[in-house]
Amino acid sequence: MLKISVLTDNRATRNFKAEWGLSFFIEKNGKSILFDFGDSDLFIKNAEKMGINPFAADHYVLSHGHWDHGNGLRFMPQIKIVCHPESFIKRYRDNIFLGLPYTLEEAEKKFELVLTESPLELEKDIYFLGEIERNFDFENVETPFKKEDGTMDTVKDDSGIAISTDKGLVVISGCAHAGICNTVEYAKKVTGVSKIYAVIGGFHLKGGDKQCAETINYLKNIKAEYVSTSHCTQFPALAEFAAALGSVPFASGDIIEL
């Protein structure tokens, strides 16, 4: 069985707390992955309530270098982190810093970094996707993000996790800045598994536009049995997903068993 515990999200179930951030604790076949770290130490506090020790994961993965997914690294000891090489660049929106609390040099001193653009098999049937190919035109959109030199930041470090199960492929995203459809298609390519069972994570959709409509059509066409999004997916998009797919947003404190 695959078990995904939501340690941090923008919403929370009873007895748990929320923040603008994301953190999942993923368990399969006796192995565990801490995927993203939220904005604070809230993921640690919520984990303790759930009986989870986030300091004892077998793998630590950072989806991309935005503050709401990596500021919680300040509360971690020296661990091995798998991420894209650009995760620690300086990045901005309207001159507001969006990056992580460490430069690459500082992060390399504090942590053991595994920097890879290529996919990496963490355990049997569990993959870090690396830099995701972007092929769908409706997802290749301009961003409001800027790099330090003023050029547009397409968040090429955005990545995710793909897990092959008996029911099909489970794809887990952080924010899906590469586009959740691009992410799923690349997960199929990396794993060689064509059947998609579940798609979970932040989808970075607003709703009421072509990208959201095309995304819903794509997920219908691939016949994903379980779809759940929250975090950076705005309320109008959540409503569209609920109406079209029966999707229920996840929240801090939730446990998803697949």
Inter-residue contact 6 to 36 (CB < 8 Å):
no
CA distance 231 to 113: 26
pTM: 0.97
**All domains in the chain, ordered by first residue:** 2-257 (3.60.15.10)
Strands 2-8 and 23-28: antiparallel
Does residue 234 surpass a pLDDT of 90? yes
Q: Which helix (H) or strand (E) holds 46?
A: helix 42-49
Measured in degrees and rounded to the nearest 5, phi and psi for residue 109 equal: -75, -35
Inter-residue contact 11 to 42 (CB < 8 Å):
no
Helices assigned H by DSSP within 4-50: 42-49
Q: What separation in angstroms does the CA of 38 have from each of 9, 70, 76, 190?
A: 8, 6, 12, 27
| pLDDT, tens digit, 9 for 90 and up, residues 45-103 | 999 999 999 999 999 999 999 999 999 999 999 999 999 999 999 999 999 999 999 99
Query: Which residue reads 């609920």 in tokens?
Result: 242
